[in-house]
Amino acid sequence: MALTQHDLLRLLESLRSADGLALVREVAERLLQELIEAEATTKIGAEWGEHTDVRTTWRNGHREKTMTMQAGALELAIPKLPAGSFFPSLLERRRRIDQALYAVITQDGGREVVGVMVGDSETEVFWAQFLRSLRERGLSGVRLVIFDSHSGLVEAIRKIMLGVTWQRCRVHFVHNVFAVIPKGSAEMVAATIRTVFAQPTANAVRAQLDTVADMLGRQFPKVRAMLLEGKEELTAFADFPHQHWRKVQSTNPLERLNREIKRRTDVVQVFPNPPAVLRLATAVLAELHDEWIAFPRRYLSNESMNALYPDAPTVLPATSDD
Report the SS3 class of residue 144.
strand
Q: What pLDDT, on the 0 to 100 scale, is given for residue 16?
A: 55
Q: What pLDDT, on the 0 to 100 scale, is given for residue 319?
A: 45
- Say if CB 97 and CB 277 are below 8 A apart: yes
Give Cβ neighbours of residue 67 (< 8 Å, ≥ 6 apart): 32, 73, 74, 76, 91, 94
Report in angstroms the alpha-carbon separations of 92 from 36, 180, 258, 266: 12, 27, 18, 12
- Roughly how many angstroms between the first and final C-alpha of the chain, as a whole number? 60
- Say if CB 197 and CB 252 are below 8 A apart: no
Give Cβ neighbours of residue 70 (< 8 Å, ≥ 6 apart): none
Q: What pLDDT, on the 0 to 100 scale, is given for residue 1?
A: 46
- Decide: residue 308, CB within 10 A, 0-12 exposed, 13-18 middle, 19+ buried: middle
> How distant is the alpha carbon of residue 42 from its chain centre?
32
Q: What pLDDT, on the 0 to 100 scale, is given for residue 28?
A: 75
Q: What is the pLDDT along the chain (322 residues), one digit of tens a residue?
A: 455 556 556 655 655 555 555 666 677 777 788 888 888 888 888 777 677 777 777 777 777 776 665 555 677 788 887 766 677 776 654 444 455 666 777 777 888 888 888 876 678 888 899 999 999 988 888 889 998 877 788 888 888 888 889 899 999 999 999 999 998 999 999 999 999 999 999 999 999 999 999 999 999 999 999 999 999 999 999 999 999 999 899 888 788 888 888 888 877 777 777 888 888 888 888 887 777 766 656 788 888 888 887 765 544 444 445 5
Q: 186-194 and 170-178 are packed helices; what angle lies between their axes, rounded to 10 degrees?
A: 150
Report the SS3 class of residue 322.
coil
- Say if CB 6 and CB 53 are below 8 A apart: no
Q: What pLDDT, on the 0 to 100 scale, is given for residue 200?
A: 95
Distance between CA atoms of residues 155 and 149, nearest Å? 10
Q: What pLDDT, on the 0 to 100 scale, is given for residue 315?
A: 45
Distance between CA atoms of residues 164 and 153, nearest Å? 14
Taking the domains of the chain in order of start, what are their residue ranges? 5-94, 99-254
> What residue type is assigned to position 192 of the chain?
T
Q: Count CB-CB contacts under 10 A for residue 9.
A: 11
Q: What is the dihedral of CA 132, 137, 142, 147, to 10 degrees?
A: -50
Q: What pLDDT, on the 0 to 100 scale, is given for residue 314?
A: 47
Report the relative pairing of strands 319-320 and 62-69 from DSSP bridges. unpaired
